[in-house]
Amino acid sequence: MEKIELKRVKDFSLPSGVLSAAVSPDARKAVVGCLHGVFRLDLETGNHEYLYQHGSYVSSVAWLTGETVVTAGYDGELCWFDLASNAVVRRSKVHDFWSWDMAVSPDQNLIASVTGQYMAGGYKYEPQPEREPSIRILSAKDGELVRSLSHVPSVQAVAISPDNKLVAAGNLMGEVRIYDLVDGSLVSKWTTPAFTSWGIIKSHCYLGGIFSMKFSSEGDQLLLAGMGPMRDPMAGNGKQLWQRWKWDGKNPELLDQTHQGDAGEGLMETLALAPDSSHFLMGGRLRGGDWNAALFDHKTGYRIASVKTGYRITEAVYHPDGKHVLLAGAKRQPTKKKEGKFQDFGRVEVYAF
């Protein structure tokens, strides 16, 4: 498999750590969700503008038709913002707990948001049942609740199929559920324990889980990302892990996963699928190894490019041209003030390949 080079072509700093980002259709701007609010970033000049904030961290950003973006946060709210008028259009309290992840359907009619807090429910530390529906489906147009769906908390990743008919969600225990968005029926369900760890050294708890997922362009396969099992909850030394599953309702099949020798250690927090589906990018935190963002050939699973950014990656977004990808995250927590202000620790970079 021919290797390619990821070349950094743009590098920007932001006042706050970045958790999420969305790129405009013309790739000239980005809206980024941070620990301290939402910013608009000019991807040509690097100029940034503070827009608004949630009651807590901003976990997800999506660009809707025209000049509207929608964001989700750890306050359990979704917020619609009009970039043309610089005004909040709507706020909707969707969850009692955090919105871990949010996805917008390709036709931009529906929004899916997932939530849940892992609480031990018995002496085996099995999760308590959900206190609220773990998956909420809303109208992207008016924010009205369309459907509530069940899962086992905490549910940390969500994706909507290319044909707008299915929603997939993955949780802390490595359980995936796929629902029909038309009638709410459960069409597939399986568990992949490769993403879940049981801590026995410093604390007894489950940790890890599926942190990001994407449907293939045909919708018959699902990419998952996270981290392989580890014994020490504080170490973060599980394998950098992705898996590709073919699901058919009754007998989901693991087709491929991170190849031997292709990965080090660290939690992988984001997946992005190229517009032409030829490859995908996985990125996150680096615990040990030589990369924390890598491109993989979608068909063969071989690693074809990688980069060590020096900061935690929380979001990866392909540009519409398929030849550039935006990586975002946080380099470090601010440790001291300079001229009365904390130093910038949010990072946004653009790579060409």
Residue 193: helix, strand or coil by DSSP? helix
The residue type of 82 is D
For the residues 145-164, what does the mean pLDDT come to? Answer: 98
Inter-residue contact 270 to 316 (CB < 8 Å) = yes
pLDDT (0 to 100) of residue 332: 74
In the structure encoding, which two tokens stand for residue 115, read together?
A: 């939530």
Name the residue among 297, 298, 272 with its Cα closest to residue 283. 272
In the structure encoding, which two tokens stand for residue 335, read together?
A: 């440790």
- With a cut of 80, say whether residue 336 has pLDDT above it: no
Q: What is the pLDDT of residues 19-58, one digit of tens each?
A: 999 999 999 999 999 999 999 999 999 999 999 999 999 9
Whole-angstrom CA distances from 37 to 49, 212, 226 are 11, 22, 26
Instruction: Sketch out the chain's domains with CATH numbers.
Output: 7-352 (2.130.10.10)
pLDDT (0 to 100) of residue 102: 98
Inter-residue contact 319 to 326 (CB < 8 Å) = yes
Across the strands, what pairs with 347?
13, 329
pLDDT (0 to 100) of residue 201: 73
What's the rounded Cα separation, in Å, for the pair 343 and 338?
6
DSSP code of 226? Answer: E
What's the rounded Cα separation, in Å, for the pair 152 and 340?
45
Which of 101-105, 180-184, 235-239 has the least mean pLDDT?
Answer: 235-239
pLDDT (0 to 100) of residue 318: 98
- Dihedral sign, CA of 251, 180, 162, 132? negative
Residue 117: helix, strand or coil by DSSP? coil
pLDDT (0 to 100) of residue 230: 87
- What DSSP line would sit under 246-268, residue for residue? E--SS--EEEEE--TTS--B--E
Which of 120-134, 165-179, 330-344 has the least mean pLDDT?
Answer: 330-344
Inter-residue contact 9 to 351 (CB < 8 Å) = yes
pLDDT (0 to 100) of residue 270: 98
The residue type of 129 is P
pLDDT (0 to 100) of residue 335: 64
pLDDT (0 to 100) of residue 26: 95
pLDDT (0 to 100) of residue 198: 83
Whole-angstrom CA distances from 172 to 38, 176, 212, 320 are 27, 10, 11, 32
Name the residue among 188, 250, 183 with its Cα closest to residue 213. 188
